[in-house]
Amino acid sequence: MDTLNIEKYGFNHTGNIFRNNPPGALVEKALLNKEGRLSRAGALCIETGERTGRSPDDKYIVDTPAVHDLIAWGNVNRPVSAEVFDQVYDQMIQYLNDKDLYIFDGFAGANRKYQYGFRVINEKASQNLFIRNLLIRPKKEQLKDFKEDFLILVAPGCKVDYKKLGLNSEAAIMINFEKQIILIAGTGYSGEIKKSVFCVMNYLLPQKKIFTMHCSANMGIDGDTALFFGLSGTGKTTLSADPNRRLIGDDEHGWDDNGVFNFEGGCYAKVINLDKDSEPDIYNAIKRNALLENVTLDENGKIDFADKSVTENTRVSYPIDHIKNIVRPISSAPAAKNVIFLSADAFGVLPPVSILTPEQTQYYFLSGFTAKLAGTERGITEPTPTFSACFGQAFLELHPTKYAAELVKKMEKSGAKAYLVNTGWNGTGKRISIKDTRGIIDAILSGAIKTAPTKTIPMFNFEVPTELPGVDSGILDPRDTYADASEWETKAKDLAERFNKNFVKYTGNEAGKALVAAGPQL
Q: List residues with catalytic annotation.
A: 54, 195, 214, 232, 236-237, 251, 315
Q: Which of 522, 429, 436, 431 is nearest to 474 (CA)?
A: 436
Separation between Cα atoms, residue 486 and residue 458, nearest integer Å? 12
Q: Which of 434, 195, 191, 169 is nearest to 294 (CA)?
A: 191
Report the helix count and the strand count for the chain, using DSSP H and E. 13, 28
Q: Which of 55, 50, 87 is nearest to 173 (CA)?
A: 55
Tell me the β-bridge partners of 340.
Answer: 228, 419
Q: Which of 228, 448, 223, 451 is nearest to 338 (CA)?
A: 228
Separation between Cα atoms, residue 262 and residue 254, nearest integer Å? 6
DSSP assignment letter at 62: E
Length of the chain: 522
Separation between Cα atoms, residue 15 and residue 335, nearest integer Å? 48
CB-based contact 383:374 (threshold 8 Å): yes
Contacts of 83 (CB under 8 A, 6+ apart): none
The one-letter amino acid at 419: Y
DSSP assignment letter at 356: P
